[in-house]
Amino acid sequence: MTPLDTHWTEATALGDLPEDDVIGVSVDGRDVALYTVAGDVFATDNLCTHGNARLCDGFLEGHEIECPLHQGRFDVRDGRALCAPLTQALRTYPVRIDQGKVYLNLEAAPRGVT
């Protein structure tokens, strides 16, 4: 990482992410869900926008995470709410992998929030 990359915060080691699964991590006090799908890493807020449920406890199938509380689904790539009862998108975060570590840009303009 160069000195110009001050907005990137280390989240975890890449090796700590299970393939095709989701984990919850705390990054600078934020509860974040990290997903790996076919070798790509995605990051969203960890709380469902519909109910107070942690998405890291949900079921990941492809690029869709199912909320464990009401079975609504989000697309982890862009945060879109895909079905009822969800109506509000999830906030997503840009991800960067560098030297075996996963970094998030928590200061980027919110994506996925409507």
Q: Is residue 18 part of a domain?
A: yes
- Is position 45 within any domain? yes
Domain for residue 58, yes or no? Answer: yes
What would the DSSP string read from start to end of the chain? --TT-TTEEEEEEGGGSPTTEEEEEEETTEEEEEEEETTEEEEEESB-SSSS-BGGGSEEETTEEE-TTT--EEETTT--B-STT--SPPPEE-EEEETTEEEEETTSPPBS--
**CATH number of residue 75's parent domain:** 2.102.10.10
Does residue 39 fall inside a structural domain?
yes
- The verdict on residue 3 lying in a domain is no
Residue 114 lies in a domain: no
Range of the domain at 86: 8-105
pLDDT in the model for residue 77: 98
Average pLDDT over residues 60-75: 97
Is position 110 within any domain? no
Confidence of residue 113 (pLDDT cuts 50, 70, 90): low
Q: Domain tally for the chain?
A: 1
Tens digits of residue pLDDT in 35-52? 999 999 999 999 999 988
* pLDDT of 112 over the 70 cut: no
Residue 83: inside a domain: yes
More confident residue, 55 or 7: 55
Q: What is the pTM of this model?
A: 0.91
